[in-house]
Amino acid sequence: MTVRPSAAAAAVLAVCVAAFAAVAALVGAHGWAPFGFERAVLDWVVAHRPDPAERTAELLTELGTGVFSYLFALAAGLLLARAALPHRSRPAAVAVLLAPVAWLAAGQLLRRGLMHGFGRPRPPAADWAFTAHDFAFPSGHAFTGALSAGLVALAVALTRPGAARPAVTAATVFAVLIGCTRVYLGVHWPLDVLAGWLLAAAWLALGVLLFRKQLRGLRG
């Protein structure tokens, strides 16, 4: 039985929102303090952080935020706009081009609102191997890296269906690596990263549902 994309997106949205809410409630009930396993993970990474691995993590983590994430979103927009041009006017294609960037920016506003609303403290600064700001939950890099990579994978799946599986695999690996660097560099607790991934998946699924009619016309 073939599952319709909108039905799959609705299922992902429901599961990820429920899981995010459960993680937030769990951490909130714990006073936003780290659980024992989170402290144990951080202690382990601090004790196993040789200079080459630390430098690699620092370089990799930069790909999960700032200009890089918006370049990924723009790349997704370019793929979609090229598919849209034969069927739509040039202004409509430009709107398609900018849609992933706008969705990423809107997601950032949501994530920052949640982060300040929850106000979970970061790990102790003495454990940091990277500069960090604001609160910890959900992880901004984990959210942004997963969402920007997911937008590219979605664009590939829509415009080049034969490359959908490797695109999704690459996006998943990228998101996991970015999230793991945040814990490895000592600036996030593990549940911060999990929450960032869940929020990104939910936001991407919501976009698919809201724009399903427009996306349907872009399938390769």
pLDDT of residue 217: 63
- The residue extents of the domains of the chain are 5-216
Residue 3 banded pLDDT, cuts 50, 70, 90: very low
d(CA 137, CA 55) in angstroms, rounded, equals 24
Copy the structure tokens of residue 95: 């709107």
Find the Cα–Cα–Cα–Cα dihedral 139, 142, 147, 153, rounded to 10°: -170
Q: DSSP labels for 149-175?
A: HHHHHHHHHHH-GGGHHHHHHHHHHHH
Residue 109 banded pLDDT, cuts 50, 70, 90: very high
Architecture of domain 5-216: Up-down Bundle (1.20)
| pTM, full prediction | 0.93
Asked whether the beta carbons of 150 and 169 are under 8 A apart, the reply is no
pLDDT mean over 52-75: 93
- Pick from 144, 192, 194, 146: nearest CA to 168: 146
Neighbours of 62 (CB within 10 A): 15
* 1 pLDDT more than 60: no
